[in-house]
Structure 1
Amino acid sequence: MTPSVLSARDLAAAYPGLVALRGVSLELAPAEALAVVGRSGCGKTTLGRMLAGLPVPGAELGGTLAWPGGAAPVAGARRRGLSGHVAWLPQEAIAALHPQLTIGTQVAETLRAAGRPADAGAVAACLAEVGLPAEFAARHPHRLSGGQGQRAALACCLAQSPAVLVADEPTSALDEATGAALLRLLAERRRAQGMALVLVTHDLPAATTLCDRMLVLQDGAIAEEGPAARLAHRPASSAGRELVAALRFGAAA
């Protein structure tokens, strides 16, 4: 059996008076694409942040993460080596980029942190991978459009050569055409780098097109999981049926 590239056991997140995530366990295979879907407030982003080993402000976290060569409680996983294994693409990429540093500087810093060459040619190659011309290295984030900002943030992610990329609603702030182009780019880079992908999204068509497997969250727990194509057409859970019904209603409106 192929070992998991990322394993989560009993992930939990609780705010005072509110349980955001409870008892979530999953295995991610190398090069697999997993969609995490569900209604707003179901715990999708919380789960995505925890899989990337990031803090969830105001929440008490529990559970463990394991990856080839490492394992740790989720709250300390990045310090134990997860940061070089899993990259995080946030929903608001522009906000995640340092406003006072050029895009080239930020890509170069990521390359150096990963122990890779960080000269101008290496930076230009990273930008080319996400469809940005080399001259964008001299730009600051405020000079980028929403789609360009997402591509720049993705270039920083890919500069790490991560085994896993967790993308949190990467198209929600983009227009339809720009969002579709970004999803195609994610699919291309996943194939080219053999990278596993966790796509946190409310976009069921995108999840079905891009991902092999789908996990449906409801009230912070897994309602069902299985092949993406099957869940998108024949969901077994009430949460899955609600998502499909909402999609059909929107298409008919």
Structure 2
Amino acid sequence: MSAALIEAKNLSKTFPGKGMFRKSRPVQAVRGIDVSVARAEAVGVVGESGSGKSTLGRLMLGLMPATAGSVTVDGRPLSDFTGSEWRRLRQRLQIVFQDPYGSLDPRRRIGSQIADGIRLHGRGEAAEQVTALLNRVGLEAAHAQRFPHEFSGGQRQRIGIARALSTAPDFLVADEPVSALDVSIQAQVIQLLADLRRDLGLAMLFISHDLPVVAQLCDRVIVMYLGRVMEEGPARPVFHRPVHPYTRALLSATPRLDAARRKERILLKGDPPSPADPPSGCVFRTRCQHAVEACAQAVPELAPFGGDGRRVACIRAAEIG
């Protein structure tokens, strides 16, 4: 694998508890995660709502401080960047948000919003670049004079992508970028992201709960549950020969993925535990059909499995896989 463009080591984020009448427990949103993304590589992050996917993306961009661990860009910690250096770094790291309606200023023309990054970072003539960016994402130059409410959801997400590209970034976090769109529009936006990644050599962290989309777009995948990584590795072996019981359950609920090998759906027991009160040992054990007493004793190490580049956090991986 190529050297990492951006890398997180032992990354953790704990949010303080909130309560009007009594203090509640802190929430451990991300716990001890290692992840790296090489240049031009796409890494998918999947898991149920509340698994910590979006928090991980924001930590890697430096949009919120980590409780523990570090993030480095080209081997240099984010904490080392200050002043003008941080401004240049911000140009290289961008995000596409989930909500194409709430992420744009309704009072400003979209051309002006796309031009903000161009002007802020001194990247030359804004009008020409806005036109080029609109064309690149499948819109027209005349659209620059319109307001957000004049566009469909899919068009707004294209505008959001154009805005993210306005600084010519190296790394893009796409945080559930198609979850708010109709299925037919989702496919178009996913194809656009795939084309941009190929044409521009973008590194990408693609956050989604839609496994077939991640399988289509990403080279590697990270499966998260309650702030921890359950399984990670190259997308093909993880999706077609899943080992961790949680990965298997997610895939069994996705009928569109590998229909020829479809198996009976695995129903998880109960609801996910509160991140403010996670189970001891393996955080997935309270919903796992393979759990044994030992699963409650210690947090399982994310260890190499199968010789295909993946790692699995399960003490029974050898038996299950």
TM-score by shorter chain over 0.5:
yes
Q: What is the deviation of 1:71?
A: 1.7
Check if 1:211 corresponds to 2:180.
no
Deviations 1:67-117 (A, max 9, x none): 127422499899475412211100013211122211111111111223212
More helix by share: 1
Query: Which of the two has higher C-alpha Rg?
Result: 2
Change (3 A) 1:219 1:4: same
Change (3 A) 1:74 1:138: farther
Partner of residue 39, structure 1: 48
Check if 1:67 corresponds to 2:66.
no
Distance in 2 between residues matched to 1:76 and 1:44, nearest whole Å: 27
Partner of residue 147, structure 1: 154
Distance in 1 between residues matched to 2:75 and 2:112, nearest whole Å: 30
Preserved CA contact (<8 Å) 2:212 2:256: no
Secondary structure of the 1:104 match is: helix
| TM-score of the two chains, using structure 2 as the length reference | 0.72
Partner of residue 107, structure 2: 100
Give the 5 Å matches for 1:221-236.
Answer: 221-236=228-243
Preserved CA contact (<8 Å) 1:53 1:74: no
Of 132-141 and 112-121, the range deviating more from structure 2: 112-121
Change (3 A) 1:76 1:249: farther
**Percent same amino acid among aligned pairs?**
39
Give the 5 Å matches for 1:92-131.
Answer: 92-131=99-138
| TM-score of the two chains, using structure 1 as the length reference | 0.91
Of 122-131 and 95-104, the range deviating more from structure 2: 95-104
Which amino acid is the alignment partner of residue 101 of structure 1? Answer: R
Distance in 1 between residues matched to 2:34 and 2:239, nearest whole Å: 21
Change (3 A) 1:61 1:96: farther
Deviations 1:158-209 (A, max 9, x none): 1111111100111110001101000000000011100111110001000001
Which of 27, 31, 35 pairs up with 1:26? Answer: 35
Greater relative contact order, per chain length (Cα 8 Å cut-off, separation 6+): 1
Q: What is the deviation of 1:220?
A: 0.4
Deviations 1:108-143 (A, max 9, x none): 111122321233222100100100111110011121
Which amino acid is the alignment partner of residue 224 of structure 2? Answer: L
Partner of residue 208, structure 2: 201
Secondary structure of the 1:229 match is: helix
Structure 1, unmatched stretches of 5+, are none
Secondary structure of the 2:4 match is: coil
Which of 119, 133, 141 pairs up with 1:134? Answer: 141
Distance in 1 between residues matched to 2:226 and 2:102, nearest whole Å: 28
Distance in 2 between residues matched to 1:159 and 1:83, nearest whole Å: 12
Deviations 1:25-46 (A, max 9, x none): 1111110010000112111111
Structure 2, unmatched stretches of 5+, are 18-24, 266-321
